[in-house]
């Protein structure tokens, strides 16, 4: 793990593991996505599942600084732009997370089905520099 990252390795790994489990269940439930005009499918998609609840609880137990840092790592990992230096992009994403309400930052983490991949990509980018 990058020396500039505050989140401990075991905490990061736990979030990635929970997000990965949730992603597998979500893609298994709706491999082709959800048609918003199908009310039954939409209702089922909005029903909380055990894996989402476990991830939500883990995120809720993080410090505000760790939540905001994970958000910055996530957005860095989601960003496919090679135009910005990684450290600069990470600082900008972190600054953005600082300006937002904490609940909004938590929600943005939970909304990303490929959260685990985004986090791993973000850390890889930070470690490459």
pLDDT at 3 over 60: no
Percentages (nearest 5) of helix, strand, coil residues in the chain: 70, 0, 30
Asked, for residue 49, whether it belongs to a domain, the answer is yes
String of DSSP letters for 83-129: SS-HHHHHHHHHHHHHHS-HHHHHHHHHH-TTHHHHHHHHHHHHHH-
pTM: 0.84
In a domain, 2, yes or no: no
Structural domain that includes position 115: 9-128
Counting the structural domains of the chain, the total is 1
Angle, vertex CA 78, rays to CA 10 and CA 105, nearest 5: 65
pLDDT band at 122 (very low <50, low <70, confident <90, very high): very high
Question: Is residue 1 in some structural domain?
Answer: no
The per-residue pLDDT for range 67-99, each reduced to its tens digit, is 999 999 999 999 877 666 788 899 999 999 999
| Structural domain includes residue 13 | yes
Residues 30-56, mean pLDDT to the nearest whole number: 77
Residue 1 confidence (pLDDT): 59
In a domain? residue 46: yes
The answer as to whether 3 is a domain residue is no
What is the pLDDT at residue 36?
66
Does the pLDDT value for residue 37 go beyond 90? no
Return mean pLDDT, the chain.
87
Whether residue 75 is contained in a domain is answered as yes
Distance CA 110, CA 118 (A): 12
Residue at 4 is within a domain: no
């Amino acid at each position: 793990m990058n020396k500039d990252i505050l989140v401990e390795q075991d905490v990061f790994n736990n979030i990635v593991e929970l997000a990965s489990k949730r992603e597998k269940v979500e893609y298994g439930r709706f491999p082709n996505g959800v048609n918003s005009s199908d009310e039954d499918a939409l209702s089922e998609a909005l029903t909380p599942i055990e894996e989402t609840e476990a991830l939500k609880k883990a995120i809720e137990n993080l410090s505000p600084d760790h939540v905001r840092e994970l958000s910055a790592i996530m957005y860095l990992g989601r960003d496919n732009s090679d135009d910005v230096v990684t450290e600069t992009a990470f600082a900008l994403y972190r600054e953005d997370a600082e300006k937002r309400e904490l609940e909004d930052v938590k929600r943005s983490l939970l909304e990303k089905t490929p959260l685990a991949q985004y986090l791993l990509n973000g850390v890889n980018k930070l470690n490459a520099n």
